[in-house]
Chain A
Amino acid sequence: MSLLQLENLSVTFGNFRAVDNISYKVEEGEVLGIVGESGSGKSVSSLSIMGLIDFPGKVSADQLKFAGQDLQTMPEKQRRKLTGSDIAMIFQDPMTSLNPCFTVGYQIIEALKTHQGGSKKELRTRAIELLTQVGIPAPESRLDNYPHQLSGGMSQRVMIAMSIACDPRLLIADEPTTALDVTIQAQIIDLLIELQRKKQMGLVLITHDLALVAEVAHRVIVMYAGQIVESGPAAEVFSTPKHPYTQALLASLPESASGKARLEALPGVVPGQYDRPAGCLLSPRCPYATDHCRKVEPANQGDLDRQVKCHTPLDREGRPAA
């Protein structure tokens, strides 16, 4: 039984499909990387797992299961018991993700109190332990600090402490380092991975950073315009990408442009609500697109272990199959 299992999950806002029939699963202790441009539905899909999509957003799925429990049919109250304890999430901008009116201690203890309870003293001791675990010096005094007294990296450590407070089995990290300095980024990722290994959590790491995913993720999902265009074991996807979009993403890395005068770039932007093309959504930007691609939407090929959504997946040499 997988820890998290999604089948044909869609999130719609009116007529706009922010997430379009995606399926994937996360195993216990697995690191899953989700990559893609801004607006490709990475965050929205994970918010829907947390049950944080608000009206007018609508979530539908053939299957949305956490550790065998159906998240869609369970009562609101029971689902809230899972969120924050068994499934936790950390967000992109730590500086705005902490409530400015409450101390760090209050916010961590609130999470503990909601799901585990305990005396005031116990809770405080637990909170200090958590801050120590995420590498915050002088945790006792930090507990009484307000968020505006912390730096960005420190805030993200607090966010992590808060999310692991109830020993989650699945942690979703939505671009946890995007808003941080480069030097801090590595520290935060190291911390996340260390905690993941120690606690054997499932970790969904949403990021723009392909190099990072290649380094830490077991499996990777590439999303484009709300759809999963390619998924598979990280090493395989990055060494032999089957989808033109993955290929383009990899080519746009500065590392792959050594010796060239210009960086490779994929022209155009992710289609929005009103300019979604017929057929394959990538077709207007894809260098290999044929008339067939522009008319008919490709189906997913392969199984959940190695999936590609393309009429003409690329071969080992990176050329489209005939």
Chain B
Amino acid sequence: MFQFIFRRLSLVIPTFIGITLLTFTLIRLIPGDPIEVMAGERGVSAERHAELSAQLGFDQPLYVQYYHYVTGVLQGDLGNSLITREPVMKEFLTLFPATIELAFCAAIFAILIGLPAGIFAAVKRGTVIDHSVMTFSLTGYSMPIFWWALLLMLVFSVNLGWTPVSGRIDVVYWIDDVTGFMLIDSILSGEEGAFASAVSHLILPSIVLGTIPMAVIARMTRSSMLEVLSEDYIRTARAKGIAPWRVIVIHALRNALIPVITVIGLQVGILLSGAILTETVFAWPGIGKWLIESIGRRDYPVVQGGILIVACIIIVVNLLVDITYGIVNPRIRHSR
């Protein structure tokens, strides 16, 4: 097992180099100059521009800048934001819990709906249930996130008034930042109604963000279940005379979950990148919104650092998925 994890970890190094290189060059390919953006409408004199360039190191050749950046990263220093002058890591850590909270709830929603829907569709293959599940999931998968968000907002927030339009909690509450997770902090604050308010703010963004992963999980579960249900060992299980639900839940699902777990792991990337749109529409103060704003400001260190951290998270999650895979599937555990 350790050897397996070590082997997987060694693959991380080239990925890491690729990500730093890509973010570093891509953000610099976008037209625009961070110093001009900082100066705003007033503009900046040529001397002051040169002075600032030298101060921020933009006057040096690109490979030198990259060298400084990477050596910084290796020492755990992602640089400071050009706008706020705060360390990138610090800004990230302040905003990240909001994104995690949203992504976590979206994932729960996606799994809770997607997995049973997929199982059900597979067991009732070819029936109306199957077709409607598949139609819904295809619709969910192909719907543009921002449009879906606005649609839900229009119906449930504006017309029906069931949920708030945006933000993490109602303005009447002042919640101390203890863990950064609003659901937990609102309980800790002890204020009446704070938790309910936090939950109601989470519902729509979670559904919006969770829709694509839900659709993917439902489809994957269905096809995986269908494949497993036609396996010989399912016939053996049924020939033992055990109850049909046991055949499905114990014998089929355990095997069908193997590819589904991989897919759920891959959805973490979609959750984090999808958060960019969802957070922008719902004014959710997380890293998605932070990154979008930083791109607009040409805040090079924030964009580079932010994307690097997100990429690392995705890599770690995928590693965890591979390990889980080994736990669920004995054939992988033993084949060393």
Contact = CB atoms under 8 A, between A and B. Distances in A.
B237 A148 contact: no
A161 to B, nearest CB: 12
B233 A52 contact: no
Contacts of B232: 91, 93, 96-97
Contacts of A85: 241
B328 interface: yes
Nearest to A92: B232
Interface string B311-336: 00000000000000000111100100
B329 A111 contact: no
B334 A82 contact: no
A163 B241 CA distance: 11
Q: Is the interface of B mostly helix, strand, loop or mixed?
A: helix
A81 to B, nearest CB: 6
Contacts of A89: 239
A17 interface: no
Contact of A114 (B241, B255, B328): B241
B85 interface: no
Contact of B243 (A80, A98, A102, A162): A80
16 contacts: A82-B241, A83-B238, A83-B239, A84-B239, A84-B240, A85-B241, A89-B239, A91-B235, A96-B233, A97-B236, A100-B255, A101-B255, A111-B240, A114-B241, A146-B330, A149-B334
A96 B239 contact: no
A159 B233 CA distance: 11
With most chain A CB atoms within 10 A of its CB, the pick from B238, B243, B255 is B238
A91 to B, nearest CB: 6
A131 to B, nearest CB: 17
B241 A83 contact: yes
Interface in B243-267: 243, 251, 254-255
A: interface residue count bin: 20 to 34
Interface in A156-205: 159, 162-163
Interface in A24-63: 47, 50, 52
Given A84-B241, A110-B242, A162-B240, A100 B330 contact: yes
A90 to B, nearest CB: 9
A99 B331 contact: no
A99 B236 contact: yes
B163 to A, nearest CB: 41
Contact of B251 (A99, A111, A162): A99
| Most B-side CB within 10 Å, residue of A50, A101, A163 | A101
Contacts of A96: 231-233
A146 B236 CA distance: 16
Given A96-B232, A101-B329, 8 more contacts: A80-B242, A84-B239, A88-B239, A99-B233, A99-B255, A100-B330, A102-B251, A110-B242
Contact of A98 (B233, B238, B328): B233
B74 to A, nearest CB: 42
A78 B122 CA distance: 26
Contact of B331 (A50, A98, A148, A163): A148
A97 B240 CA distance: 12
A115 interface: yes
B229 to A, nearest CB: 9
A82 B330 CA distance: 32
B241 A80 contact: yes
Interface string B168-187: 00000000000000000000
B236 A91 contact: yes
Given A91-B232, A96-B233, A110 B331 contact: no
Contacts of B238: 50, 52, 83
